[in-house]
Amino acid sequence: MPAVHIDPHRLTAQGYRMPAEWEPHRGTWLSYPHNPKSFFTKLKGAQEGFADIVAALAKVEEVHVNVCDEAMARALTLKLRRRAVRRNVFLHLFPTNDAWCRDHGAIFLKHRGSGRVVATDWIFNAWGGKYPSAKDNRIAKKMAAFLGVECFSFPWVMEGGSIDVNGAGVLLTTEACLLNKNRNPQLSKAQIEGLLKANLGVRKVLWLRDGIAGDDTNGHIDDIARFTDARTIVTVVEADKADDNYGILQENLADLKNFRDVNGKPFRIVELPMPRPVYYRKDERLPASYANFYIANGIVLVPVFNCPQDKVAIKILKGVFKDRRIVPIDCSAIIVGLGTCHCLSQQIPA
């Protein structure tokens, strides 16, 4: 591989870090589902599920939503009125290609000393050029401008759903995504790891291998394993040995048990079941996963899929998040777009 000159902003050295998701939020930023090529016949159902998410979040923090036009704003406002939501929601006429704000939105950092919040803007290429992304790729700067925070732009591809941090120096990701040649083929694993450490305030990068079946992101971490506190990782496992996910998730589980934090201590690993396989058509498996929960101020939004495993996952997550209320969100329509609660949302640190 030829030498690649990397000149990152080195935000870590300037005192910035990416806060953990459970740290206090000013609010959450989302993008309204509108693309029929993503949600097909389930678009209306996905929009109703989205309104449920906004309604739950508006009770605990600000909610900012990207909408493409005034008609879309009116449609969402009507849905929210039906849910008695009349405050804490701010609609922005920022057109998007799709709904996945976790990936096309700004990733926010916070200064360790002053508490100053800044935005980072990475190239979004729709998971390796799979879909149109020109509108989505402008969203991070628009978010930063509205919030009045400085925005640092990077000439490398990265999506928010590909990384998870524990707020104490550790970042979790997958080789299948960040090392995929459809992202940054000019960079080696060591160079990518160096960029993450130099700009997100982390000291250690932990690499899992692959993601779940049906995931068109090439293996985002937020469908398989998530930090729930600095020392705890929740990870999905598949009980059915004949399922396509069984071997992948067993490999990830074994790796997680061997991982260590920045002090050399093992993590507490909590296993979550996978839901019953969800399909749009008979041959189109969807990446349904309880790991795609979203942690907000005082609550955790948990995707559910109308199957027996829903109750099991909720019970486990109640035991993990003892200081937060678990809010189940019916994602049986949203998942047709290949994501759920976490994929839709991006936190704004307080």
Q: Give how far Cα 208 sits from Cα of 150, 162, 350, Å.
A: 32, 11, 30
Q: Which among 101, 331, 341, 343 is annotated as catalytic?
A: 343
CB-based contact 202:107 (threshold 8 Å): no
- What is the per-residue DSSP string for 236-248? EE---TTSTHHHH
CB-based contact 346:102 (threshold 8 Å): yes
Q: Give the C-alpha separation, 100 to 112, whole Å.
A: 28
177 is catalytic: no
Tokens coding 245 = 């996910």
* H, E, C per residue of 258-305: HCECCCCCECEEEEEECCCCEECCCCCEECCCHHHCEEECCEEEEEEC
CA neighbor of 33 nearest in space, from 10, 19, 53, 16: 53
Which amino acids are annotated catalytic? Answer: 343
